[in-house]
Structure formats: structure tokens, C-alpha cells
Amino acid sequence: MEKRIDHLILGGGIAGVTAAETLRELSGATIAIVTEDPNPLYSRVRLPDYLLDKIPREKVFIKDFKWYQEKEIDYITETSIKEISVSEKRVLLENGKAIHFKKLLISTGGIARFPEPLPKRLEGIHLFRTIEDADRIREGFKKSKRAVVLGGGYIGLELVRCAIQKGIDCSLVLMDRQFWPGILDEPSSKLIEKELIEKGLRIVFGAQIKEVKGKTRIEEVLLTSGKKCEADFLGVGAGIQTLQPFLESSGIKTGKGIVTDEFLNTGHPDIFAAGDVAEFFDLRQKRHQQLGNWVNAQEQGKTAALNMSGEPKVFDFISNYAIRVFGVSVGFIGDIRRIEGTQVIQRGSPREGVSQLFIREGEVKGAALVNRPHEMRPLLGMIKNRAKVHADDPNLSDSAFDLETLI
């Protein structure tokens, strides 16, 4: 007999588990989560602290297996999705079993990308997405003297920070000519660069990896710039892949991720998507977008659950992200595109920190902050309340002016 479940959730990350928890609060319906992961829910956000021995492995976990039992959530681990039949409302698993659903949530997140020129079999190449990756990185760090890290985004910078703190000689390779081009201006990027160089990092801008050499372990990395870096550890921060084969045959609409409306619905009335995999309609930015963000995934899990249980709720969230690279804090809020009609107003200076305000249609739509973390809160408030501003108001560019008064 095939299983029949009221609310079937694919993926047991923060989006899927939050959806299950919310659904349980709402009703006694049957709930199942199918996930490839062998673990109960853990925090990817805490993984860098685990790498640095700031917390023990068990502190990375948010739930234990008992929690799922107590909540009567059928938690099916180490199981992959093979196919979704939308017309039959049925999910086929790789182990040959099938589950029928009334409502389905797809929250399968993403898999760390492994760029093409890298050899799969060489020891010492590390992705950073799961707790098992973190276990391997910890072991890799113990044996490493020279590391190369690929990618200047969040994961690349976390790997660099951890490697340097472990006393490993480290080089960072970035495809771009600066950090976060198109969002940060050059002086703001230079602030991050200066801090990292002071900590002993070598940075190669405008290059990619051409070849990795070694017999069984990595020994040398050749860059497209012609430079050669000796290395026994290669950390890869090349983004995530969210589209998986099981989506291809399903007929569910995909773009960069699973395309949804503002209710996180896929267009099939009983199928929803949430978290990193969802390319949702952002009501504020009036466009589809996909975020790789913990709080976004958590909030989408909640919203999807309400919609699955028949309580219509739009997803209205202002994305925000913060990272600290040694002494430099970087924060991004809302819509940080320099599209037509956007005026970018700068507050502060490299010495006191720089906030860039992205203004359009008489409102702050987004902001990028370097070393001005205290402005995160007021700017979030201004964006949320759609506070009216004039781009030529001198207060906006006066770093001493308190933005709280504009909320």
C-alpha cells in the first residue's frame, strides 16, 4: 500500500522543518518530511563556529530525532526524490517507494556547485554546505599549510576567515575585479581588501582556476592569469545549484529556481516551494528573485505552511544579510540594484564606514553597509514603512544624522 500524506515536504532544512512545525501548530493533519540528510535539522549558519572550535559539533543541531516523533512528523531521512507526478499528486522516491499527497512543499534548498575544471577525485578539494563538509574541512585544516579559496562571496570569505584563524597561509581567487561589484563601490570594496591583506591574505582578482595538479592530493593550482599557487587545500565557494533532475520531468515551472507567485505557489494549486530553491515573486521589488538566506527560508517555510493549510498569506519580506570579515562588517538590505532611476547616496567615509542608500520613486529601496552595522535597523525600518525621502536631502548624506528620525 502506498503512503498517503496530507502535507508532504521535500527537504528537511530550515524551510521544510519550519513549514512542518507551523503546520503541526495549525492542525492534526498527517505530515511527512522526505530528506537526503541523515541528520535532524542543524544550523548551517553555525558551521563556521564549529570549524573554528568555538562550539562543539552537537551545538550545531537545532532539533533531535525525538522532536519529530513528539510532533508526529514522519521524518524520512537518507532518501532522495526521483520524480514528482503533478497529475497523480504522487512523489516517487529513489528507493522505489511512492507517497501520495494532498499538499506538497518543495524545499530542497541547494547543492554546492563544483566548477567544471576541478578534478573530482583529488583529495583536498572542499565544498562547504553540509555538516559533513565541515567535518572534512576540519580534518583538511589539520593537514594544511597552504590553502587556496575560490570565490569572493559569503562562503569564500568564511573559508578564508577560518583558514587564516587556523594559521594557514591563504590565497583568495576572485573572478571579479573587486568584492561585490555592481553593489559596493570601489572604496567600500577596498576596505574589505585592506582588512584581509592586513590579516595576511593574498588576493588574486580577475582570475579563475585553470587546472589543479596533484597525484592523489592537490599540490598546485594554476590560474587563468598564469599564476601558480602551491596548495594542499582548495576551498570552493562557487554558489549553489538549486535545480535538480526530479524537477525536469515534473512540469513544475523553473527559472533559476522553482518559480512561485507571492503566495509561494507554483501555479499548481496544491504545490508550493520555499527557501533557497524558490524563485518567488517579491511584492516590494515587483520581480521574481531567489535568495540564499536563513531567515528568508524560515519565513517562507511559515508562509508556505499557512497557504498549504488554506490561510492565504502573501510573502512580504525585506531581504537582509550581514557578514563580518575580521574587523569589517558588511550588510545588504532590500533592493540593491543600480537599475534605471536609482540614485545612490553615500553616507560616511572609508575611515568611519560607508553606507550606500539606493533610492528610487522617493523611497529607500535598499542599502549596502560597510562598517556601519548600526544603520541596519533604521534602514530596514525606512524600507519597511516606505518612508518618503528626497535624494537631494542633505541629511541623507550626513553621516552624523540619525536615520531613526526618518522611519
Ligand X SMILES: Cc1cc2nc3c(=O)[nH]c(=O)nc-3n(C[C@H](O)[C@H](O)[C@H](O)COP(=O)(O)OP(=O)(O)OC[C@H]3O[C@@H](n4cnc5c(N)ncnc54)[C@H](O)[C@@H]3O)c2cc1C
Q: Which amino acid is at 258?
A: I
- The answer to whether residue 37 forms part of the interface with ligand X (CB under 6 A) is yes
Binding range to ligand X, per CB under 6 A, among 32-40, 332-340, 382-390, 393-401? 32-40
109 interacts with ligand X by CB under 6 A: yes
Distances (CA, A) of 27 to 3, 6, 21, 24: 19, 11, 10, 5
Chain centre distance of CA 124 = 24
Stretch touching ligand X by CB under 6 A, among 65-73, 104-112, 194-202, 384-392: 104-112
Q: Quote the distance between the C-alpha of residue 246 and its chain's center.
A: 22
Assess 165 for contact with ligand X (CB under 6 A): no
Q: How far is the CB of 79 from ligand X (least distance, A)?
A: 6
The DSSP 8-state label assigned to residue 351 in this structure reads T
Confirm or reject binding of residue 290 to ligand X (CB under 6 A).
Answer: no
Binding part of the chain for ligand X, among 36-44, 161-169, 342-350, 377-385 by CB under 6 A, reads: 36-44
Eight-state DSSP code of residue 143 = H
Q: Taking the complex as a whole, how short is the minimal distance between the CB of residue 290 and ligand X, in angstroms?
A: 10
DSSP-derived secondary structure for 6-48: EEEEE--SHHHHHHHHHHHHH----EEEE-S-SSS-B-GGGHH
Q: Is 81 in the site for ligand X (CB under 6 A)?
A: yes
Determine, following the binding rule CB under 6 A, whether residue 44 of this chain makes contact with ligand X: yes
Among 7, 8, 9, 11, binds ligand X (CB under 6 A): 11
Number of residues engaging ligand X in binding (CB under 6 A): 32
User: CA 59 to CA 81: how far, in whole Å?
Assistant: 29
**Binder to ligand X among 12, 124, 334, 366 (CB under 6 A)?**
12
Q: How far is the CB of 83 from ligand X (least distance, A)?
A: 11
**Of positions 20, 47, 183, 264, contacts ligand X by CB under 6 A:** 47
What is the maximal distance between C-alpha atoms in the chain?
70
Q: Is 260 among the residues that bind ligand X (CB under 6 A)?
A: no
Locate the DSSP E strands across 132-238. Answer: 146-150, 169-173, 202-204, 209-213, 220-223, 228-230, 233-236
Q: Hey, what long-range contacts does 125-129 have (CB within 8 A, 24 or more apart)?
A: 125/212, 125/218, 125/234, 125/236, 126/159, 126/233, 126/234, 126/235, 126/236, 127/236, 128/47, 128/155, 128/158, 128/159, 128/235, 128/236, 128/237, 129/44, 129/240
- For position 128 contacting ligand X by CB under 6 A, the verdict is yes
DSSP 3-state of 334? strand
Residue 15, interface with ligand X (CB under 6 A)? yes
Answer for which of 9, 35, 160, 189 binds ligand X (CB under 6 A) is 35
Give the nearer residue to ligand X in terms of CB position, either 163 or 223: 163
Nearer CB in complex with ligand X: 297/330 = 297
Task: Give the Cα separation of 4 and 88 in Å (integer).
Answer: 12
Calculate the CA 146 to chain-centre distance: 27
- Say whether residue 80 binds ligand X (CB under 6 A): yes
Q: Does 110 bind ligand X (CB under 6 A)?
A: yes
* Residue 335 engages ligand X in binding (rule: CB under 6 A): no
Q: Does 293 bind ligand X (CB under 6 A)?
A: yes
Q: Report in angstroms how near the CB of residue 248 gets to ligand X at its nearest.
A: 12
Minimum distance of ligand X from residue 226's CB (angstroms): 31
User: Where in 214-243 is the site for ligand X (CB under 6 A)?
Assistant: none
Report residue 230 as a C-alpha cell.
602551491
8 A C-beta contact, residue 174 and residue 184? no
* Residue (205 or 294) nearer to ligand X, CB: 294
Segment interacting with ligand X (CB under 6 A) among 96-104, 105-113, 216-224, 354-362: 105-113
CB of 134 to ligand X, least distance (A): 7
Burial (CB count within 10 angstroms: exposed 0-12, middle 13-18, buried 19+), residue 405: exposed
Residue numbers of the site for ligand X (CB under 6 A)?
Answer: 10-16, 34-37, 44-45, 47, 80-81, 107-110, 128-129, 244, 246, 275-276, 292-295, 297, 321
